[in-house]
Chain A
């Protein structure tokens, strides 16, 4: 009895996130309109991406601008394997023959793409994790630019800055939910493991952590690689939800939105990462609808395009100024006695 109680306590923060999400998915799946259902799927995919980002940024405290890179790598890899068999020899003539002349089944291709993203993150991390703090952040920006330049100009393989269209769209709400669940569970297991505790110690105090025998390099490299895998999953999902892949979707605007979600919710906790996605998605969706125009009292009324971006940026700044640890302020949603311990852990 005691044992199952402990298990329940351990998993409660995850349940507290996942159960409401499941309710949202079930309700919109049953009663929601098409556009609402699409928004919910987008939100779930963003959860995968932002939780992936959180695994590194939240736990290490180092801002990364480079995670869109790994998403792009996974999304393009998946496109090469599964997209438009008829057109590939013409539009992407530079692909090696085994990719160019055939399609690969969906599941293996997704796994290969995610592995590639994780592998790329590992290789990048080998180099970048030698740097500390801001230098590391700026270098992740360099990685983002390198990938953008290469993929925008590698015409024979990536179709340059044009979109690859015609990927099979197999992502449903429940599949996206399953992946979000997977990402959340992975992040939770990681942050409560010895590796996770070690890297959270380096976040709080680099010098003290290093003095306690924690390797800054290895703990960050592990987090970076793991988060590469998870955002890779997000990249594959997004590619097969939209059915198109374009390198411009993996650049600064996207990076900004993902970071905004993480910061608004609070980058110190898993619950914060997910809450941020939900809040920001809601705001973005609301203003997108207003920009598209609504009818008020018989007349068509809309706000200028671009307002949504201004609102998000301003909202993020306000959060940073007035509640700099985000909505969740670094806390998980725990049972009462549990909350107490988490607090000490995070703010200690």
Chain B
């Protein structure tokens, strides 16, 4: 019994992590029809900002050496600035392009950033120890929950609630939802396009920074591709959730996270390495049944 609860906790923790990334992807897609590959590099660069650029495998800490609050603030700031910079330099000039061009351009931005990190930090995986105090497990009703997972769930839940409140209650949030619904119309009604899009990128950077901290605390390693798998999972999450739907993105994130943990637990050991293939096949199967995703929005269908 405790075992099942343990699996459930794992599933929810991973699911909420993917939901955060999926929301970041979904927000930007909503206002710009851009699927942002570079989100992976926001996460990676956020994590690499913790250490001094050297070729060493155990590099000295940079932002990671600061007290917790400053460290968190610093990482979030780095990623937000990075997200805004990519928006300004690469995506703003392309704003009126079709979605395919935008997709390709974000692929190029991602490739650029990834190689930039490699140039600065070298391609070797590094180890970094932050938040060691969180490694100890907390015991709740006979189930041992690692502190990191608890933290992931709490942070994810907190950010989700904050995001919902922001989108529902603040003028900017409402403008953002209007932009996602019908960008042209919202603009005609006075929605400040530049500000709303920049804000969407800033929030995606904020979420990316949070994810990079959570990932680094969990694994204790830095890797050039550390952001890749969460973001790829998040892509699939937004697609099966229904493109352009934020609840859909969060739901999809939970689904792929849960599916991933369940497959990891219940597949026979020989097949476990193929877990990701299983999840991705599941994604394609869901799309076969519901090509528009689970939650269909008006954004899914082009207007004629």
Contacts and interface: CB of A to CB of B under 8 A. Distances in A.
Contacts of A38: none
A296 to B, nearest CB: 22
A304 B118 CA distance: 11
A130 B291 contact: yes
Given A153-B274, A207-B302, A131 B93 contact: no
Contacts of A131: 287, 291
Contact of A259 (B35, B104, B112, B287): B104
Contact of B288 (A127, A137, A143): A127
Contact of A320 (B101, B236, B274, B288): B101
B111 A256 contact: yes
A315 to B, nearest CB: 9
Interface in B219-234: 228, 232
B101 A309 contact: no
A145 B239 contact: no
B35 A134 contact: yes
B277 A324 contact: no
A149 B273 contact: yes
A62 B116 contact: no
A138 B115 contact: no
A145 B118 CA distance: 22
A139 interface: yes
A133 B293 CA distance: 13
B180 to A, nearest CB: 15
Interface string A121-139: 0000001101111110111
B56 interface: no
A145 B108 contact: no
B247 interface: no
B99 A313 contact: no
Contacts of A253: 111
B119 A306 contact: yes
A260 B104 CA distance: 9
Contact of B280 (A145, A252, A259, A314): A145
B111 A142 contact: no
A314 B274 contact: no
Interface in A240-295: 252-253, 256, 259-260, 263
B46 to A, nearest CB: 20
A35 B104 CA distance: 31
A313 B277 contact: no
A86 interface: no
23 contacts: A61-B100, A63-B103, A127-B288, A134-B99, A134-B100, A134-B239, A138-B236, A141-B232, A142-B280, A143-B284, A145-B232, A145-B276, A146-B280, A149-B276, A153-B273, A206-B302, A207-B302, A256-B108, A306-B118, A312-B111, A316-B104, A320-B94, A324-B101
